[in-house]
Each structure stands twice: as structure tokens, then as C-alpha cells.
Amino acid sequence: MNEYIPSPSSWVADQVELYEGSGGTDGTTLKGMPVIIVTNRGHKTGAIRKTPLMRVADGNNYVLVASMGGAPKNPLWYHNLKNDPSVEIRDGAEVYSMEVREVEDSAEKQRLWDLAVAAYPPYQDYQEKTDRVIPVFIATSR
């Protein structure tokens, strides 16, 4: 098994450490909103990567929004998920093995985008400040 390499972004690494170190009882919010931890495999290194993302649920599925705060490029984890769709999602104390796919269908994507914006309204601001269309993934049970 490949090793876990913490994010070079200290706030991300700290959030993951607090969340996982507490068994999912601490570090479960960011900016006052619930977050999940998405564990995936790096597309270049093959190393284990972990990213806190805003918690957007669609029934038993999760919506993953590759917003990167409205930056002009997709986040690195976007490329990881495109390369290897197998992920683990930690939601509080629960951990789920899931598969992700990028949502291409416009009606499905709009429905999921609306859920995401309802869960975390800044997503709309992020889309307005970037020229790229922010990718949306759906994570479903394996």
C-alpha cells in the first residue's frame, strides 16, 4: 500500500489530522459548515491523498465540487479522481468506500449544483469569479 502524503497546504493537512485523529468527532466543520474527508490516490505519485470538502449529500451519495475557491485551474484532486475513481469518504465517524464519476449530463449537473449551492452558498460566488465551468462529481457506494 502506498504511503499517505499530507497536503502541502498546512490548513488542509491540519484539518485532516484533527478530523481523522479524533475519529471524526473534531474538525468536522470548516467556516461553520460540515465537511467530509475524501481519500484518493495521487495520479502522479500513487500516494494516498486526503482532502476536506464541503459536505453535500444527495441521499446516500455525496456531491464533490472541484471549485478551488473559483481559481482558474481545477484542484489537484480533480485529476486524481479522473485517473482513479475509487475513493473513501469519511463523514464524521463513518467511512464509506465509493466510486466517483464526473457529472456531464446538464440536467443532472444542474440538480447537483443546486444542492451544492444550498449546502455551501459560496460555490455560486466561486463559479462567477472563474471562466472555467466548475466540475461536479457524484460519489456512489461501491
pLDDT tens sequence across 65-112: 999 999 999 999 999 999 999 999 999 999 999 999 999 999 999 999
How wide is the angle at C-alpha 118 spanned by C-alphas 113 and 124, nearest 5°? 60
Which pLDDT score is estimated for 21? 96
Q: What is the CA radius of gyration of the chain?
A: 14
Which pLDDT score is estimated for 1? 58
Sequence-separated (6 or more) residues with CB below 8 Å from residue 95: 88, 89
Going from the N-terminus, what domains does the chain have, and what CATH number goes with each?
10-141 (2.30.110.10)
Which pLDDT score is estimated for 2? 81
Mean predicted confidence (pLDDT) in 50-56: 98
Mean predicted confidence (pLDDT) in 125-140: 97
Closest of 31, 36, 42, 33 to residue 8, by C-alpha: 42
| pLDDT(57) > 90 | yes
CB 137 within 8 Å of CB 74:
no
Which pLDDT score is estimated for 142? 86
CB 100 within 8 Å of CB 88:
no
Q: For the segment 6-40, what is each residue's pLDDT rounded down to a tens digit?
A: 999 999 999 999 999 999 999 999 989 999 999 99
| C-alpha 105: how far from chain center | 20
The neighbour count for residue 72, using CB atoms within 10 Å, is: 9
